[in-house]
Amino acid sequence: MTNPLLADWQTPYGLPPFAEIENAHYLPAFDAAMQQHLAEITAIEDNPATPDFDNTIASFDRAGKLLGQIGRVFFALTSGHTNPGIQEIQEAISPLWSAHWDGIYTRQKLFKRMALVRDAIMQGSATQDSQNTATTSVTEEMHSLTELLYQRFIRAGSHLDAETRGRIIAIGGRLSQLQTRYGRNVLDASNAWHLILTESETDGLPASVKASAAREASAAGHEGKYLFSISRSSFTPFMTWSTNREAREKLWRAYTEVATHDQTNNHPVAEEIARLRAERANLLGFETHADYELADRMAATPSAVRELLDQIREPAWQRFAEERKRLQAAVQAEGGNFSLAPWDWWHYAEKVRAADYEMDSEALRQYFPLDRVRQGAFDVANRLYGLTFQPVDDVTLYHDDAQAYEVREADGSLVGLFITDYFMRPSKKAGAWMNAFQTQTRNGDEVRPVILNTCNFTPADPCLLSLEEVNTLFHEFGHGLHGLLSNVTYSMLSGTAVKRDFVELPSQIMEHWAFEPSVLKTYARHIETGETIPDALIEKIRQSATFNQGFATTEYLAASYLDLDWHQLTQDDEVNAEALEQKAMAGIGLPAEIAPRYRSSYFQHIFSGGYSAGYYAYIWAEVLDADAFEMFREKGIFDQETAAAFREHILEKGGSADPMALYERFRGRQPTVTPLLQGRGLG
In this structure, what are the phi and psi dihedrals at residue 375, rounded to the nearest 5 degrees? -65, -35
Please name the amino acid found at residue 630: E
Catalytic residue ranges: 476
Torsion 629-635-639-644 (CA) sign: negative
Alpha-carbon distance of 490 to 447, in angstroms, equals: 11
Q: Are strands 403-408 and 433-438 parallel, antiparallel or unpaired?
A: unpaired
The answer to whether the beta carbons of residues 142 and 121 sit under 8 Å apart is yes
What is the CB neighbour count within 10 angstroms for residue 620? 25
The answer to whether the beta carbons of residues 144 and 74 sit under 8 Å apart is no
The answer to whether the beta carbons of residues 563 and 613 sit under 8 Å apart is yes
Q: Which residues pair with 414 in a beta bridge?
A: 408
Of 119, 250, 145, 270, whose CA–CA distance to 602 is shortest?
Answer: 270
E-strand ranges in 309-423 read 388-392, 403-408, 414-423
The answer to whether the beta carbons of residues 349 and 327 sit under 8 Å apart is yes
DSSP 3-state assignment of 639? coil
The answer to whether the beta carbons of residues 509 and 474 sit under 8 Å apart is no
Percentages helix, strand, coil for the chain (3-state, rounded to 5) are 60, 10, 35
Of 543, 550, 542, whose CA–CA distance to 326 is shortest?
Answer: 550
- The set of residues, in sequence order, having a beta carbon less than 8 Å from that of 169 and lying 6+ positions away, is 99, 102, 103, 106
Alpha-carbon distance of 669 to 661, in angstroms, equals: 9
* Number of alpha carbons in the 13 Å side-chain half-sphere of residue 81: 17
